Structure 1
Amino acid sequence: MQIWMCCIVYTILSVYALVTPITLTAMTLERYVAICMPLRHAELCSMRGAVKLILIIHSISSVPCTVNLSIFSATVSSDLYTNSKLCYREMFVLFPWQGHLSSAMDQFYFLIMLSVIVFSYVQIMKAAKAASGENKKSTWKDV
């Protein structure tokens, strides 16, 4: 496959590989809003908000790919794009520090998504515990 075609395929696949976990994180936030802020749910989760969220998710997902391709295009000569090679992700990593940068970005994304999911579920569990009526004594009749 020619390198220019590989760049296009790499861009699409790397963006959509990151869209899925970010979308699941956004779904967790939506559940948090629905359970913990039910009166604001309709205001925050509208069609316009969904379109904005999709654009935000895709732009966040494209950052690591954009960084890798920018470094790649800045360091290779332009005649390389017409060469044919086997297309794989590591082909775009030319220096060892690029691998470290990619790993650091992956870890950063993972920590942010983990923090959001844990926060959301802890808050949902608190709301569920409060709604379940932990204080059952107040609902009993005095005999």
Structure 2
Amino acid sequence: MVNSTVQSTYVMAAQVMTTGQILRTVIVVLMPLCFGIFVYFMVIILNVFFTAPQVRETSRYILFIHMLFNDVLYLALSFFLFVCVNYRILLPIPICFIITSFSTCMFRITPYNLAVMSLERYTAICHPFRYVELCTAQRSCHAIAYMWTVGMVPQIANVISYCCYADPRSFYFDVICDWRSLTMNDFQIVLRTLNDILSFSIVGMTIAYTYVKVMLVARRMGSGNKASKAGKTVLLHAFQLLLSMLSFTTSLTETYLISYFKYLPFTNFFFVMCFPRFVSPLIYGVRDEVFGKAMRKAPSCQREPSLT
């Protein structure tokens, strides 16, 4: 009886390991494939952006290109960390801190960027006479700088907190590079949680406010094509923001639900953290008149697009 119980335990453990290995392998295969498709569409969009002077001076396109660059870097760093963690590749703590700090910063910049893009659409639709004044290329660059500042400040505070509590000799150690390995005190956990909640709240309120305002204006405009397009554009921004905001829930779900769903980190990584970044160029690019034309006619995208 005991032998059969032990044997069944080994069988169940083997099945768990096999399932985990399968999921890990599937993600390792899917990530480069999706990343390649993402980069392909990004190249098409960048070709349009850099060959059309009027596009380079448009606020929403500047913000969109920044989001694409940010997502490419984030996906590359995230995949590198995913491989290191799951294949037990050790990294020096200083290198790990640099990678995780930039990765976490880029993780939060995407929803910030989408929130600013929603505000840009809100200004264009609700305050069209002030749009040229408020949404300039220079102001867009300033907004990008503010995003990076807001994203990096908590990471700098996290590094300072670690240095205050950790033994100086620990910087010579090699660790499995994830945020748990770099957490030394409760302040870091509180800082991470508060930052996630605050970011989630600000982005959520921004999309709710802009969506309601734009839809009210669109309703007053009637049932014409312009009103319909405005409503669909804001709805697409809302969908993008919703996908991006779901990534804020990963730390909570992996803390409280990991005992019920053993493979939650795998599914969270691909479907919650990476998938929203993959679909961004498709959601926004295909919908946009300038980029959509080039993406639908990829072989002919070398010619300068018409902006009329």
TM-score (norm 1): 0.86
SS state at 1:88 partner: coil
Matched, 1:68 2:158: yes
Matched, 1:37 2:127: yes
Native 8 Å contact 1:18 1:61 kept in 2: yes
In structure 1, stretches of 5+ residues that fail to align are 134-143
2:103 aligned residue: 13
Matched, 1:115 2:211: no
State the Cα distance separating 1:86 from its structure 2 match: 1.2
2:116 aligned residue: 26
Within 5 Å, which residues of 2 pair with 1:124-143? Answer: 124-132=214-222
SS state at 2:184 partner: coil
2-structure distance, mates of 1:57, 1:29:
14
State the Cα distance separating 1:101 from its structure 2 match: 3.0
2-structure distance, mates of 1:123, 1:47:
24
Native 8 Å contact 2:161 2:187 kept in 1: no
Deviations 1:48-80 (A, max 9, x none): 111101101111111322222121111112221
Matched, 1:104 2:214: no
SS state at 1:91 partner: coil
State the Cα distance separating 1:97 from its structure 2 match: 4.5
2:174 aligned residue: 84
After superposition, the CA RMSD in angstroms is 1.4
1-structure distance, mates of 2:208, 2:199:
14
SS state at 1:85 partner: strand
State the Cα distance separating 1:83 from its structure 2 match: 1.2
TM-score (norm 2): 0.42
1-structure distance, mates of 2:113, 2:167:
36
Deviations 1:19-70 (A, max 9, x none): 1111011111010001000111111111111110110111111132222212
Identity of aligned residues (%): 26
2:242 aligned residue: none
Amino acid at match of 1:125: M
1-structure distance, mates of 2:167, 2:187:
20
Amino acid at match of 2:94: W
**Count of paired positions:** 133
Q: Which moved more, 1:62-71 or 1:39-48?
A: 62-71
Q: Give runs of ≥4 in structure 1 deviating > 2 Å.
A: 95-98
Which residue of 118, 121, 139 maps to 1:49? 139
In structure 2, stretches of 5+ residues that fail to align are 1-90, 224-308
2:232 aligned residue: none
1:2 aligned residue: 92
Native 8 Å contact 1:68 1:92 kept in 2: no
2-structure distance, mates of 1:50, 1:101:
28
Which residue of 93, 96, 108 maps to 2:183? 93
